[in-house]
A and B are shown apart, each in its own frame.
Chain A
Amino acid sequence: AQKITQTQPGMFVQEKEAVTLDCTYDTSDPSYGLFWYKQPSSGEMIFLIYQGSYDQQNATEGRYSLNFQKARKSANLVISASQLGDSAMYFCAMREGRATDSWGKLQFGAGTQVVVTP
């Protein structure tokens, strides 16, 4: 069964606007971590932000913030003040259990393609 669901295959956003990328996850493990990655057309995977299941506050990293709603099992990425360089594929990923249980493995969603227009 799909553990990570990203329902938006593609999105257009205007420069300087904010954009929210949806991510829902499925796990019965109380301990888990959620990650967001950016993949430009060059193919490299760039780590953006992390949210732990026990974290009380939403994670933030510069223009990236994570809207973590634990009860709804959602971890949406918010990019504020979009820039042309933000055009890329964005992936949500989850690590279940403690790292020693999962051996650090990440399960990825299908991704959302973001295009930032001038």
Chain B
Amino acid sequence: SQTIHQWPATLVQPVGSPLSLECTVEGTSNPNLYWYRQAAGRGLQLLFYSIGIDQISSEVPQNLSASRPQDRQFILSSKKLLLSDSGFYLCAWTWTGGANSPLHFGNGTRLTVT
């Protein structure tokens, strides 16, 4: 069966510090991968999605970036965090080409920028 791992679970970082959130998927190959952000009490905003290694698209311009160094690894980074980067970050995967395939989410990372 497929599993998705996301870490760390919580993170408190000062403004201006770097960020690296990691997500890995097991039990499948060539998944589509996604990073979403959820502000407190709000819906999910798509940040990045990837259909393959080094194939990453950004949905919103900001000081975050994403990389996919391996087929089942997706990393969210920032060189300098802003207060507005605080939120709940969720990594997700789905089958490539499956119209009815739901996104399967990791447990998320609660990021607080102080």
Judged by a CB distance under 8 angstroms, whether A98 is at the interface is: yes
In the complex, the answer to whether A43 meets B107 with C-beta atoms within 8 Å is yes
Q: What class of interface size applies to chain A in its complex with B?
A: 20 to 34
In the complex, the answer to whether A99 meets B97 with C-beta atoms within 8 Å is yes
| Interface residue count on the B side (C-beta < 8 Å) | 28
Q: Nearest-CB distance from A76 to chain B (Å)? A: 17
The one of A45, A99, A110 in contact with B105, judged by C-beta atoms closer than 8 angstroms, is A45
* Contact A31 to B99, CB < 8 A, known contacts A43-B107, A44-B108, A103-B49: yes
* Contact A35 to B51, CB < 8 A, known contacts A108-B44, A109-B43: no
CA distance A91 to B88 in the complex (A): 15
**Which B residues are within 8 Å of any A CB, using their own CB?**
32, 34, 36, 42-44, 46, 49, 51, 57, 88, 90, 92, 94-105, 107-108, 110
In the complex, the answer to whether A33 meets B44 with C-beta atoms within 8 Å is no
* Contact A95 to B99, CB < 8 A, known contacts A103-B49, A104-B49: yes
The one of B34, B42, B97, B110 in contact with A105, judged by C-beta atoms closer than 8 angstroms, is B34
Q: In the complex, which residues of chain A have a beta carbon less than 8 angstroms from the beta carbon of B43?
A: 4, 91, 108-111
CA distance A95 to B51 in the complex (A): 16
The one of A42, A45, A100 in contact with B97, judged by C-beta atoms closer than 8 angstroms, is A100
9 more A-B residue pairs beyond the given contacts A93-B44, A99-B96, A111-B42, with a C-beta to C-beta distance below 8 A: A31-B99, A44-B105, A45-B105, A47-B102, A99-B98, A99-B99, A100-B97, A103-B57, A106-B46
